[in-house]
Structure 1
């Protein structure tokens, strides 16, 4: 492939990687990860509410990785409150899993920026092998993609398997019990998913630029060395 086309592909991959870093950094501090509704089960049972009356006992909840807000509906109007995960909810939520999500999200930003630098270096500089050449580009894309997958898996497990919304809704509630009525992942979560897919796209851009996958290259070297051994 001509050098100009390689530069264009590497520049495109670098721009995509940099855009991912900026998007994840913006998503990290927002409370747009999960949005849902919570049912005040205790109040609904006390008045024996029917399906048509349940909306009077359904509140809202929305949160991110650091803070959020909730509106509790127990039949007497909404009670809006805000909360923060640190340090208030550390004894309620799976703290190790939540901290891991933040760490891997931060690592994803760092590796996306590192990948951006190496893509630009390969486009305009004189890269050498190992971490600076095409093998390094594959490595940074793989690491970034792995971090993105870990963020998605850990956060999904925290929300769905550990019932994070219910634990937040029932925090410091002695007389009422709240149950999750509905919940959906929001913009920040889908940004992580899109950025993970972008790093996979970058892998194929490297391949289109004319550089074989590392494992394919090593396999070719093994077969050629084996043929040389047979000749001698």
Structure 2
């Protein structure tokens, strides 16, 4: 492939990687990860609410990685309540998983920026082998893909398996019990999925530029070495 086309491909990959870093940084600071509704089960059972009456006992909840907001509905009108994960909710949530999600988000931002720098260096500089050349580009893209995948898996398990929304809704509630009525992932979560796809696309762009995958090179070298050994 001509050098100009390689530069163009690496520039595109670098811009995509930088856009991912900005998108993730913005996503981490928002509360647009989960949005759902919470049913006040105790209040609904007390008045045997059904149909349209049940809506008076369904509140809303929305949160991110650091803070959120919920509207408490128990038949007497909505009461908004803001909360933060640190330090208020650390005792009731799976703290290790939650901290791991934040940690991997930070790692993802760092390696997305590192990948951006190396893509631009390969486009306009004079890269040498190992981590500065194509092997490094594959490595940074693979790490970014892995971090994106881990973030989605860990956060999904925290929300669905550990019932994060219910734990937040029942925080400091003595006489009322709340159950999750509905919940869905919001924009910030889908940004992580888009970043995963972008970094996977970057791997394909590196291959399109004419650089073979590292493991394919190693297989070829092993085959050549084995043939030489057989000759001697």
* Structure 2 residue runs without a partner (length 5+): none
Alignment of 1:227 onto 2:223: no
1:182-226 Cα deviation digits (max 9, x unpaired): 000000000001001100000000000000000000001111122
Q: What does the per-residue CA deviation read over 1:132-189, in whole Å, with 9 as the maximum and x for residues that have no partner? A: 0000000000001111111000000000000000000000000100000000000000
Q: How does 1:213-224 map to 2 (within 5 A)?
A: 213-224=213-224
Q: Which residue of structure 1 lines up, in the alignment, with residue 127 of structure 2?
A: 127
Residue of structure 2 in register with 1:115 after alignment: 115
Task: Please give the alpha-carbon distance, in whole angstroms, between the structure 2 residues aligned to 1:34 and 1:167.
Answer: 14
Partner of 2:28: 28
Q: 5+ residue gaps in structure 1?
A: none
Instruction: Please give the root-mean-square deviation of Cα atoms over the aligned residues, in Å.
Output: 0.6
* Partner SS for 2:83: strand
Deviation at 1:50, TM superposition (A): 1.2
In structure 1, the residue corresponding to 2:180 is in which secondary structure? strand
Deviates more, 1:51-60 or 1:208-217: 51-60
Asked if 1:194 is matched to 2:194, the reply is: yes
Q: Describe the SS at the equivalent of 1:88.
A: helix
| TM-score normalised over the length of structure 1 | 0.99
Aligned partner of 1:104 in structure 2 is 104
Number of matched pairs: 232
**Corresponding position: 1:150 with 2:150:** yes
CA–CA distance in structure 2, aligned partners of residues 32 and 25 of structure 1: 13
Per the alignment, residue 37 of structure 1 pairs with: 37
TM-score w.r.t. structure 2 length?
0.99
Which residue does the alignment assign to 1:84?
A: 84
Query: How far off is 1:230 after superposition?
Result: 2.4
